[in-house]
Copies of this chain bind each other. A is one copy, B any other.
Amino acid sequence: MENIRIQEVKERIITDNDAVALRTREDLTKKKVFFVNLMSSPGAGKTTLLAGTIKRLSGTYRIGVLEADVDSDVDARAVYEAGARVIQLHTGGSCHMDADMTVRGLEALDISDLDLVFLENVGNLVCPAEFDTGAHKKVMILSVPEGDDKPLKYPLMFSVSDLLIVNKTDTLPVFDFSFDALSKNLGQVNPTIPMIRLCALDGSGFDKWIDYLETEIAAFKGSKGEQ
């Protein structure tokens, strides 16, 4: 698709990921670009959530997306059609994005005129949790079909995230998924994490996610002394 550029961002050996991430975050803050790292398992609904978010917010903010995948550009197309500037990053086999790969992605995207950037990380609950990318907020999606036991099995992802979105709530009648069990399991790894229940496909609960983003962006801009 002619509107979607593809950028190769193979992993390089970087000694201090956290230092690169910190510089990225400071730079984005200076440029007033709010940056969100979106993480989940394969098929949990990152792209549908992102496309819905862009449709609702593209009238208010100029939005860019880094689409990270091992291969393909299927997600980038959906996000582009929703109304965001997008660059497809191919990670060359790497199962996560690190801070250095993110810097190269942001440069390729060109953020100079953007307000809000999302990184759609590689679908994986393990390694993406280990790498600070420089994002201001880490948001993870757990989908109902994956099960309520996942905090016990992927504790780092649940513990580093700033917000947990539980997606595909329309399928609750079909799956043996208990929010009580989820809360109990979260209690062992991140008892205070805020949670939003929604269905990205039919839009139920979506307003809470949009409210969360608008509140966070307002606080971010406020912290820079702006109106």
Contacts and interface: CB of A to CB of B under 8 A. Distances in A.
B93 A153 contact: no
Contact of A125 (B74, B123, B127): B123
A20 interface: no
A191 interface: no
Interface string A74-108: 11000000000000000001110000000000000
A145 interface: yes
A147 B95 contact: no
A198 to B, nearest CB: 16
Contact of A145 (B125, B145, B156): B145
Interface in A150-165: 150, 152-156
Identify the interface centre among A74, A147, A153, A175: most chain B CB within 10 Å of its CB.
A153
A187 interface: no
A150 B43 contact: yes
Contact of A156 (B93, B147, B153): B93
Nearest to A40: B42
A99 B152 CA distance: 25
Majority secondary structure, A binding face:
loop
Nearest to A143: B145
Interface residues of A, number: 35
A123 B41 contact: yes
Contact of A43 (B93, B124, B127, B147): B147
Interface stretch (A54-62, A64-72, A109-117): A64-72
Interface string A162-182: 000000101100110000000
Contacts of A43: 41, 143, 145-147, 150
Contacts of A38: none
Interface-central residue, A74, A94, A124, by most chain B CB under 10 Å: A124
Most buried by B among A43, A95, A145: A43
A186 interface: no
A125 B42 contact: yes
Interface of A: 41-43, 69-72, 74-75, 93-95, 122-127, 130, 143, 145-147, 149-150, 152-156, 168, 170-171, 174-175
